[in-house]
C-alpha cells in the first residue's frame, strides 16, 4: 500500500508556483491577487479561508479577505461581487460556502465574473469543463486529478466509482475522469444517497472516490484487493484535542488501507491539493489579466 501524500505533493507544487511568481515580479509583472468573501462565523469556513490566506503568503500572492456578519443582505453581497468583478487589482476571488440560509447561493455564484471565478463554480466554467474546453476547474476535483497524475496512477480503462453527487466534488470529478486524456478515460459510476446496494458497485471499482461526508462510510468489505481509494471527507468530529474536534474521512482508513494499492490519508491527502488548485487557478487568472 502506498500513501498518496497530498501534503508533500502540494508543497512540491507550491515551490513551483512560488518560483513562477518571483519570475513574474522580477520581470515587472503584478503579484497575483486572490480575494475571498467570508460571511458569518462558521468555524470550518473560517479555517479554510485562513488556510487559503496562508497558502497565498507562502507562494507570494497578495490576498484579501472580506468578512461580513451572518445577517448580511444578499443585495449587499451582490454589490461587493460587482465591485470585485471590476477591481483590476484582483485577479480572482471566491465566496466561501456555505452561505447563511437567507442568501441564495446560486444567485451569488452567477454574479461572479467567469474570468475571476477561480473556484470554477460559475455555470459558464462548469459548462466549459463538461465540454472539455479550457476553464477554471473547481479546486477539489482539480486537486484529485493532480494527485493521480503526480503518482502516475493508471486511469485509462479503469472503473471508477464516485460516492456522492455534489456540484463541488462528485459531479465534476465523475465528468473529468470520464473525459479523454492522460488522467481520464475511466468508466465512471456515480453512487449517491438513493443508490441501492452501494457495496455492489464499490466491489467492482478499480478506483473509489469517497465524497459523501459520512465519516468512515467505506468499509473493508466494500473494497477489493488493490483498489485506489481517494478520501474527500473532512467531517469535524468531537475529539480530545486542543480544538475539541478532529477531521474524519469517509473511509475506515485503518481497515481499508491494507487492501489498497494507493490510499489518501485524512488529513494530509486531498485537502492540501485543494488549496494548491485554487492557487493554480489564480495564477492562470492573473496570466490572462496580464495580456
CA distance 219 to 231: 12
Stretch that binds ligand GUN, among 19-27, 90-98, 182-190, 204-212 (CB under 6 A): 90-98
SS3 track for 78-107: HHHHHHHHHCCCCCEEEECCCCCCCCCHHH
Instruction: State the Cα–Cα distance between residues 208 and 202, nearest whole angstrom.
Output: 7
Q: Which stretch binds ligand GUN (CB under 6 A): 12-20, 93-101, 110-118, 144-152?
A: 93-101
- Phi and psi for 125 in degrees, rounded to 5? -70, -40
277 closest CA partner among 130, 97, 136, 95:
136
Judged by CB under 6 A, the chain residues 192 through 221 that form the site for ligand GUN are none
Binder among 9, 63, 72, 96 for ligand GUN (CB under 6 A): 96
Residue 94 in contact with ligand GUN, rule: CB under 6 A? yes
Minimum CB separation of residue 144 from ligand GUN in Å reads 12
Please, which residue, 61 or 201, has the CB nearer to ligand GUN?
61
Chain positions 103 to 142 lying near ligand GUN, rule: CB under 6 A, are 119, 139-140
**CB nearer ligand GUN, residue 128 or residue 255:** 128
Is 96 among the residues known to form the active site? yes
Q: Is 52 marked active-site?
A: yes
| Residue span binding ligand GUN (CB under 6 A) among the ranges 68-76, 91-99, 199-207, 256-264 | 91-99
Q: For residue 261, how many other CB atoms are within 10 A of its CB?
A: 14
Q: Is 250 helix (H, G, I), strand (E, B) or coil?
A: coil
* Site pattern 143..182 for ligand GUN (x: CB under 6 A): -------------------------x--------------
Q: How far apart are CA 161 and CA 201, in angstroms?
A: 7
Under rule CB under 6 A, how many of the chain's residues touch ligand GUN?
8
| Cβ-proximal residue to ligand GUN, closest one | 97
119 is catalytic: yes
3-class secondary structure, 258? helix
- In angstroms, the Cα distances linking 149 to 1, 42, 155 are 17, 33, 9
Q: Cβ-count burial of 249 within 10 angstroms (0-12 exposed, 13-18 middle, 19+ buried)?
A: buried
Q: Which of 3, 18, 78, 97 binds ligand GUN (CB under 6 A)?
A: 97
CB-nearer residue toward ligand GUN: 211 or 222: 211
**Which residues are annotated as catalytic?**
52, 96, 119
Residues that bind ligand GUN (CB under 6 A): 94-97, 119, 139-140, 168
Amino acid at each position: 500500500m502506498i500513501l498518496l501524500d497530498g501534503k508533500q505533493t502540494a508543497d512540491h507544487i507550491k515551490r513551483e508556483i512560488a518560483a513562477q511568481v518571483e519570475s513574474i515580479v522580477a520581470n515587472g509583472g503584478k503579484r497575483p491577487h486572490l480575494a475571498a468573501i467570508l460571511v458569518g462565523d462558521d468555524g470550518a469556513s473560517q479555517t479554510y479561508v485562513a488556510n487559503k490566506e496562508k497558502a497565498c503568503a507562502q507562494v507570494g500572492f497578495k490576498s484579501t479577505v472580506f468578512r461580513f456578519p451572518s445577517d448580511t443582505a444578499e443585495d449587499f453581497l451582490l454589490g461587493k461581487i460587482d465591485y470585485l468583478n471590476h477591481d483590476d487589482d484582483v485577479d480572482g476571488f471566491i465566496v466561501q460556502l456555505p452561505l447563511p440560509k437567507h442568501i441564495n447561493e446560486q444567485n451569488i455564484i452567477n454574479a461572479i465574473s467567469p474570468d475571476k471565478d477561480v473556484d470554477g463554480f460559475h455555470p459558464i466554467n462548469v459548462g466549459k469543463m463538461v465540454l472539455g474546453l479550457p476553464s477554471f476547474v473547481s479546486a477539489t476535483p482539480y486537486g484529485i486529478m493532480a494527485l493521480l497524475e503526480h503518482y502516475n496512477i493508471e486511469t485509462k480503462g479503469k472503473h471508477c466509482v464516485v460516492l456522492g453527487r455534489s456540484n463541488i466534488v462528485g459531479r465534476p470529478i465523475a465528468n473529468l475522469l470520464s473525459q479523454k486524456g492522460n488522467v481520464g478515460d475511466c468508466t465512471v459510476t456515480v453512487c449517491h444517497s438513493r443508490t441501492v446496494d452501494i457495496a455492489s458497485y464499490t466491489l467492482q471499482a478499480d478506483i473509489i472516490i469517497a465524497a459523501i461526508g459520512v465519516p468512515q462510510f467505506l468499509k473493508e468489505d466494500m473494497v477489493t484487493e488493490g483498489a485506489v481509494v481517494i478520501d474527500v471527507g473532512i467531517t469535524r468530529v468531537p475529539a480530545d484535542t486542543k480544538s475539541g474536534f478532529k477531521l474524519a474521512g469517509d473511509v475506515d482508513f485503518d481497515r481499508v488501507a491494507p487492501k489498497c494499492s494507493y490510499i489518501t490519508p485524512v488529513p494530509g491527502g486531498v485537502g492540501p491539493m485543494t488549496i494548491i488548485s485554487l492557487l493554480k487557478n489564480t495564477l492562470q487568472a492573473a496570466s490572462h489579466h496580464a495580456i
